[in-house]
Amino acid sequence: MSNTTSSHNHSHCINEQDQKAITNKRYLPLLLINYACLFVGSLSSSLLSKYYFNHKGSSRWVSTWVQSVGFPLLVIPIFLPYYLFKSTERKPFTHFTPKILALSIFIGLMLGLNNLFFSWGNSYLPVSTSSLLLSSQLVFNLILSVIIVKQKITFMNLNCVILLTLGSALLALESNHDRPQGLTRAKYFIGFIATIGAGLLFALYLPIMEMIYKKVYCYAMVMEMQLVMEIAATALASVGMAWDGGFAEMKREGREVFDKGERVYWATVLSNVVSWQLCFMGTAGMVFLTCSLTGGICMTALLVMNVLGGVLVYREEFGGVKAVSTVMCGWGFCSYVYGMYVKNKMKQLDPDLDHKQITNISPPNLIQMDQIVAPSPHHNGV
């Protein structure tokens, strides 16, 4: 009886989500919305975090805390469609099992640690340098995707990973020329290692989420999991804040330390909170709708925008080494996009082509209804 009920609930969730999507034309707009959130969130959070440290903000716990404390904003996409817009019959947190809850808490704690590493790196390194270093997460992403979700290695994705890794290595070899005034060599390399660590943790996060999302029935549940993860990450950051006197320091910093004044300080903190939520929402949506490697590739493409943003907004140095690294990032991304284009063309010519070799970003007429609800279990990207 219990199995019958569970099967009925599962079927109801999928059918209801099909009714909400109506046709596969909803897939592409949702994908574009998530990438827009990722674009705006990634660029603005990177620049705002650097703005905080540039104007005498010094608490890495505060910088870590604001990355997840905006979790109440996720109430909007979770509860409004059901209670206000009446656009779905699925009640929030339906089928949210204890196992999913435990996994979400664990991954949230891992995400909180990643946020701390990112804050350490961003406090010591220029935005452009940290952005290029974070591109190294792609090589970790590919390796872990092969291990965790059986990602198929092709010439296109391997070429992309190699180019991005070489770009980061080239930047490291010339690190002495990029160190800000007054920053010791030791602190610079602490920032360097912390940023690489953040990339590694995030690379682990992406394929783990892809594996979990294969059992997730609808986009609403993705946002519910994201809410739990952000709460766990906030709890970790709050413990660190309390242990290090961060909350009292936060008030003092706004009144006495931040050189742009208290109002600008709190505006910076609030803007950071919103931008980070956009970034994480976009990331979760991209992984759910495509795959972990495609999500990582898209994020790496945005790192080039972060580099240019750091140069334009903060007048950071953009010498030959950084220019070559940026070109490598762009070249690697373009090679991956070309690979997706070729695979889609092959799929059009041969519908029986192995799904493992096809990217999840397909033309609307190739997307089946069940792919709108969740990625195919055999769908692992280029």
Annotate 39-100 with DSSP letters as a single string: HHHHHHHHHHHHHHHHTT---HHHHHHTTTTTGGGGHHHHHHHHHTS---SPPTTTT--HHH
Mean pLDDT of the chain: 78
Residues 6 or more apart from 15 whose CB is under 8 A from it? Answer: none
Angstrom distance (rounded) from CA 39 to CA 33: 10
Identify the pLDDT of residue 149.
Answer: 86
Annotate 159-179 with DSSP letters as a single string: HHHHHHHHHHHHHHHTGGGGP
358: tokens are 């096809």
343: tokens are 């695979």
Encode pLDDT of 6-27 as tens digits. Answer: 444 444 444 444 333 434 466 7
CA angle 226, 66, 110 (to 5 degrees): 50
Encode pLDDT of 47-93 as tens digits. Answer: 898 888 888 888 888 889 999 999 999 999 899 888 887 777 788 88
Angstrom distance (rounded) from CA 240 to CA 299: 28
How sure is the predictor about 352, in pLDDT bands with cuts at 50, 70 and 90?
low
47: tokens are 């620049």
The pLDDT > 70 percentage for the chain reads: 78
Residues 6 or more apart from 70 whose CB is under 8 A from it? Answer: 230, 273, 274, 276, 277
105: tokens are 């808490």
* pLDDT value at 381 more than 60: no
Regarding predicted confidence, which is higher, 271 or 370? 271
Encode pLDDT of 323-347 as tens digits. Answer: 887 788 778 878 777 777 777 677 6
Angstrom distance (rounded) from CA 356 to CA 379: 5
Taking residue 158's Cβ as centre, other Cβ atoms within 10 Å add up to: 14
How sure is the predictor about 180, in pLDDT bands with cuts at 50, 70 and 90?
low
* pLDDT value at 270 more than 90: yes
Mean pLDDT, residues 83-106 taken together: 86
pTM of the model: 0.77
For residues 225 and 231, is the Cβ–Cβ distance under 8 A? no
Regarding predicted confidence, which is higher, 122 or 3? 122
The pLDDT > 90 percentage for the chain reads: 23
Domains in the chain: boundaries = 10-348
Angstrom distance (rounded) from CA 324 to CA 167: 7
Identify the pLDDT of residue 237.
Answer: 92
Angstrom distance (rounded) from CA 167 to CA 322: 9
- The Cα diameter of the chain in Å comes to 70
Angstrom distance (rounded) from CA 53 to CA 118: 13
How sure is the predictor about 174, in pLDDT bands with cuts at 50, 70 and 90?
low
Encode pLDDT of 221-260 as tens digits. Answer: 899 999 999 999 999 999 988 888 888 888 889 888 898 9
